[in-house]
Amino acid sequence: MSFLYRNIPLGRYRVPVPVLLWFLLTLIAALAQLSRHSYNNYLIYKGVFTHLRAQTNLYGPYPAEYFDANHYGPSFGPLIAPFALLPDTLGVLLWCLANAALLFRAIGLLPVERRARLFILAFCAVELMTAIHNVQFNPMLAGFLILAFAGVERQREAVAPFPMAAGFLIKLYGIGGSLFFLFSKNKLRYIAGFLFWGLVLFALPMLFSSPAFVLQSYSDWLQSLMTKNAKNADFLASNGMQDISVMGMIRRMSGQAVSNLAVLAPAALLILAPLLRFRQYAALHYRLSYLAIVLISVVIFSSSAESSTYIIALPGVALWYLLNRERHPRAALALLLLTFVLTSLSPTDLFPKPLRESYVRPYSLKCLPVFLVWCWLIVQVSFRNFRSEKSKDLAA
């Protein structure tokens, strides 16, 4: 493990191995997609901006521009605008680097030891590469959630709601960050900040279009998400690329059309009930555990979760390990390794293809170890007395 914390000389600078790995893998993945002209997701993102300006349906089919359809909110238009105005080659490259950089910055703001932050980067690097190979928005979304937590920790309630509101108005997942409001020391200021940023980000697309079109687009967005959710839940028609979730595992293992609500309702109760332990809020390890729960929950309980979505959940897994490696060294390490192999490596060429095609993908097993980590965390935040423990900085 000591290798992870070595510095590599780069001219006048000395760069830690995980940082170098983080951006090198991002660059390699981005260039690989550009060389194959394989960046359909980016074209969908770009289309949000171009169709917003043209006031044409953001969620209609445009086979001459890209495959599949857009499922991102109108607020995504202003975010992608600086990249969409560039030639595609440059836009794709900068978009991928921006995603990696924002998540890198968010992890850097976590209230943990430097070695712990480097461990998180190293553990998540392969998963980041998977997301970048798909030219995804998910690394940035993970960064938004972590920034929302870090803003509350740094008592910057006026700006802490910004990344949460941005994530919510773009992909809904950001709503998980609203739970960090409970840890705020100035809740009135947080609420004011949320209302301000929510209104600003809601209205911002109107600068590129018209109020009537944007309002209609929000309605169209809701309809597109409902249609997508119904399609993802149809496991018989699925190819295993979507619904890599707890519901997806249950549906595919049982062969039954289990409803999302049957899983989401008890899961929501298990997530929210520990928040009644108000006295535990003072313990940093409790709050970090809850951050890990949020990062994992928005993925494993989403029927829209796909392989590249797990870059949101993996920082949560890394945090869980850092919080538990001293108390339960063998069990935590075993589950961490299982997560790395089954979740991070299974989509790559390093994982045996017959196992991936016959078991991991058909049964959504990429979700399994992350779900086990979630269960561990839920038990801890429900029963562990964090306040009675001596709080130490996390170090890997």
For 139, counting Cβ atoms within 10 Å of its Cβ (0-12 exposed, 13-18 middle, 19+ buried), the class is buried
pTM of the shown model: 0.94
CA distances 106 to 74, 135, 143, 303, Å, are: 24, 19, 5, 26
**Which segment of 140-149, 150-159, 232-241 scores lowest on mean pLDDT?**
232-241
Q: Per-residue confidence at 11, pLDDT binned at 50, 70, 90?
A: confident
For 390, counting Cβ atoms within 10 Å of its Cβ (0-12 exposed, 13-18 middle, 19+ buried), the class is exposed
- pLDDT in the model for residue 338: 98
CA–CA dist 297, 375 (Å, integer): 10
- pLDDT in the model for residue 388: 83
What would the mean pLDDT of 249-267 be, rounded to a whole number? 93
CA–CA dist 248, 362 (Å, integer): 10
Q: Which residues pair with 16 in a beta bridge?
A: 7
On the CB side of 281, how many CA atoms lie within 13 Å of its CA? 14
Does 237 have pLDDT greater than 60?
A: no
- pLDDT in the model for residue 172: 87
CA–CA dist 239, 222 (Å, integer): 24
CA–CA dist 55, 341 (Å, integer): 45
What would the mean pLDDT of 109-127 be, rounded to a whole number? 96
Q: What is the pLDDT of residues 40-89, one digit of tens each?
A: 999 999 999 999 999 999 999 999 999 989 999 999 999 999 999 999 99
Does 231 have pLDDT greater than 80?
A: no
Q: What is the pLDDT of residues 186-229, one digit of tens each?
A: 999 999 999 999 999 999 999 999 999 999 999 999 999 988 87
CA–CA dist 223, 298 (Å, integer): 20
Helix (H) or strand (E) holding 9: strand 7-10
Q: What are the sequence ranges of the domains in the chain?
A: 2-388
- pLDDT in the model for residue 1: 62
- pLDDT in the model for residue 5: 75
What would the mean pLDDT of 224-243 be, rounded to a whole number? 72
